[in-house]
């Protein structure tokens, strides 16, 4: 059992955690089945800090759906709620890579024993299927477009491109480029205008299309920064590619599935005939242990 202290400003509660990832998109998973734990944004930032904390792109708290006020209406469909926080402490609606890791934990812990079940998220209930090869498929629902009619423009790496706005349900700006290196180092967030298209911020995906059913991408996620992978981003990209293929081939070239290569690995996005996006990929637990939460952190902004 790994022990870790995060109590620079005095000891707080000790909690158990697991560390894992989906195609390199990593999370600290905290089982809190009875809903006893309240995480402040500052505590989330402390845990996710890659130098002074455990380090992660976000936190996934596992709690019984019936005990979460914002989610209890989903308790009849899903026993467990994925309380997802970005590394900056902000709340997140949905995360495809995180959902796979969350579902993988539920199976390993024996909290779910069937090959098919559902999990509750801020983006709604999501159906889960455990594939024979161990990969996990998440029904990510359907994609929609932002209400704002203006086409967003993305600036990064000294370049500017038109982007496709997609909600899955997280907001995404998909940019088709000739070379993934054109986006620069992505240490700072790309500039997306007009801001009214994405008033709550946006994930930006830079995409190279190799074929209608095969793409590569890099991503800068709101509240996190550049990550090794993004599940909802992969779905947004697959949807945008399918829309473009349908236009280019007059409706005859829409792929049934798209392979999406990311720095952290590869996922497959299947495009169902009814518009649903099915994200399939691996999930891995790499460590487990305990940490003592900081009782006090820097003030929340």
CA 222/CA 200 separation, integer angstroms: 9
d(CA 104, CA 20): 10
Count of structural domains within the chain: 2
- Does residue 81 sit in the same domain as residue 167? no
Q: Enumerate the active-site residues.
A: 95, 230
Q: Regarding predicted confidence, which is higher, 252 or 25? A: 25
Rounded mean pLDDT, 162-168: 95
Pair 126, 180 in one domain: no
Q: What is the pTM of this model?
A: 0.91
Domain check: are 129 and 157 in the same one? no
For residue 223, being part of any structural domain is answered with yes
Q: What gap in Å lies between CA 74 and CA 79, rounded to an integer?
A: 8
What average pLDDT score do residues 14-26 get?
96
Q: Which residue has the tokens 């890791």?
A: 101
Q: Which of 31-40, 87-96, 257-266, 291-300 has the lowest mean pLDDT?
A: 291-300
Residue 1 has pLDDT above 50, yes or no: no
- Statement: residue 8 has pLDDT above 50: no
Mean pLDDT, all residues of the chain: 91
Q: What is the CATH number of the domain that holds 160?
A: 3.10.310.10
Q: Which domain holds residue 119?
A: 2-135+283-294
Same structural domain, 75 and 91: yes
Residue 12 lies in a domain: yes
- Give the separation between CA 18 and CA 286, rounded to whole angstroms: 8
Collect all residues with Cβ–Cβ distance below 8 Å to 105 and sequence separation of at least 6.
18, 20, 29, 31, 62, 111, 285
């Amino acid at each position: 059992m790994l022990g870790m202290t995060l109590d620079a400003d005095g000891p707080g509660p000790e909690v158990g955690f697991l560390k894992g990832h989906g195609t390199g998109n990593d999370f600290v998973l905290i089982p809190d089945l009875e809903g006893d734990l309240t995480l402040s944004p500052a505590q989330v930032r402390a845990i996710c800090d890659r130098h002074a904390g455990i380090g992660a792109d976000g936190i996934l708290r596992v709690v019984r759906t019936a005990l979460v006020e914002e989610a209890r209406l989903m308790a009849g469909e899903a026993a467990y709620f994925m309380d997802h926080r970005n590394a900056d402490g902000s709340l997140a609606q949905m995360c495809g890579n995180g959902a796979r890791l969350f579902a993988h934990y539920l199976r390993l812990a024996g909290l779910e024993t069937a090959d098919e079940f559902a999990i509750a998220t801020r983006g709604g209930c999501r159906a889960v299927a455990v594939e024979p090869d161990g990969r996990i498929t998440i029904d990510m629902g359907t994609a929609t477009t932002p209400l704002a009619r203006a086409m967003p423009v993305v600036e990064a790496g000294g370049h500017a491109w038109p982007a496709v706005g997609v909600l899955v349900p997280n907001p995404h700006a998909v940019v088709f480029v000739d070379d993934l290196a054109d986006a620069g180092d992505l240490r700072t967030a790309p500039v997306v205008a007009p801001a009214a298209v994405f008033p709550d911020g946006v994930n930006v995906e830079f995409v190279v299309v190799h074929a209608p059913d095969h793409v590569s991408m890099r991503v800068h996620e709101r509240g996190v920064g550049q990550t090794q992978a993004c599940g909802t981003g992969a779905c947004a990209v697959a949807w945008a590619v399918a829309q473009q293929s349908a236009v280019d081939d007059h409706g005859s070239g829409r792929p049934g599935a798209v392979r999406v290569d990311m720095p952290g690995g590869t996922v497959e996005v299947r495009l169902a005939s009814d518009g649903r996006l099915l994200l399939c990929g691996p999930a891995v637990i790499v460590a487990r242990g305990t940490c003592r939460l900081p009782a006090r952190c820097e003030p929340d902004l």
